[in-house]
C-alpha cells in the first residue's frame, strides 16, 4: 500500500508542477518533509527537487507565535507577497491562484484568512481526510490528480472539503 500511495502522490505532485509553481508549507519541523520522504517514500524525493519547502512552525514558533493556525496563516501571507501562483507567471493585476491541499482544519482556515481581502487572488482549498489509512490517501491523490487542472482553471475561489 505504501508504494501505491507514493505512486499516486507522485502523480499529484507532477501534475501540480506542470500547472504552476509549487510550495510546500508544513507545520512540521524544518526538514520533516524531506526526512519523511526519504524514509517512507524515497521514490518521491527526486520530485521535491526545485520545490520550495518551508516549515511555518520552525519560522514562527521561535518568534513567540504559538498557534499552528497562525503559523500557517503567516506563512501563506509571506508566500503571497509578490508571488504570482498562476501558471506561466504574471505580474500586477493578474489573478493569482493559491491552492492549498492538506488534511488539517488549520490548513484550510489559514488559507481563507490569509487571502481574505486580497484583490486579484483566488483561494482554492482542497481538504483531505485527516489521518487517512494508506489506501484512502492513495485514492484521494488519484482523484486530485484528475481534478487538479479544472481546479486551477476555475475562475474564482473554491472551498472543497
pLDDT band, very low/low/confident/very high, at 83 (cuts 50, 70, 90): low
pLDDT at 84: 43
pLDDT, mean over the chain: 90
pLDDT band, very low/low/confident/very high, at 85 (cuts 50, 70, 90): very low
Check: CB of residue 121 under 8 Å from CB of residue 94. Answer: no
Taking 80 as the threshold, does the pLDDT of residue 139 lie above it? yes
Q: What percent of the chain has pLDDT over 70?
A: 91
Check: CB of residue 127 under 8 Å from CB of residue 102. Answer: yes
Name every residue whose Cβ is closer than 8 Å to that of residue 137 and which is 6 or more positions away in sequence.
Answer: 5, 8, 9, 128
> Quick one: which of 1, 13, 76 has its CA closest to 40?
1
What's the pLDDT tens digit per position in 26-39?
999 999 999 999 99
Taking 60 as the threshold, does the pLDDT of residue 91 lie above it? no
Q: How far apart are CA 111 and CA 58, in angstroms?
A: 19
pLDDT at 93: 56
What average pLDDT does the segment 60-71 reach?
97
What average pLDDT does the segment 73-99 reach?
70
What average pLDDT does the segment 115-120 reach?
85
pLDDT at 86: 41
Amino acid at each position: 500500500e505504501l508504494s501505491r500511495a507514493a505512486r499516486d502522490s507522485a502523480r499529484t505532485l507532477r501534475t501540480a508542477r506542470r500547472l504552476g509553481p509549487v510550495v510546500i508549507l508544513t507545520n512540521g519541523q524544518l526538514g520533516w518533509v524531506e526526512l519523511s520522504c526519504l524514509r517512507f517514500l524515497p521514490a518521491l524525493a527526486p520530485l521535491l527537487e526545485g520545490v520550495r519547502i518551508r516549515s511555518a512552525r520552525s519560522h514562527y514558533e521561535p518568534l513567540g507565535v504559538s498557534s499552528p493556525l497562525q503559523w500557517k496563516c503567516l506563512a501563506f501571507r509571506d508566500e503571497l507577497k509578490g508571488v504570482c501562483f498562476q501558471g506561466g507567471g504574471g505580474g500586477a493585476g493578474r489573478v493569482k491562484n493559491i491552492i492549498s491541499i492538506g488534511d488539517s482544519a488549520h490548513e484550510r482556515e489559514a488559507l481563507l484568512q490569509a487571502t481574505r481581502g486580497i484583490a486579484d487572488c483566488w483561494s482554492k482549498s482542497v481538504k483531505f481526510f485527516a489521518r487517512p489509512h494508506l489506501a484512502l490517501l492513495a485514492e484521494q491523490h488519484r482523484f486530485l490528480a484528475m481534478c487538479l487542472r479544472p481546479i486551477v482553471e476555475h475562475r474564482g475561489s473554491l472551498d472543497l472539503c
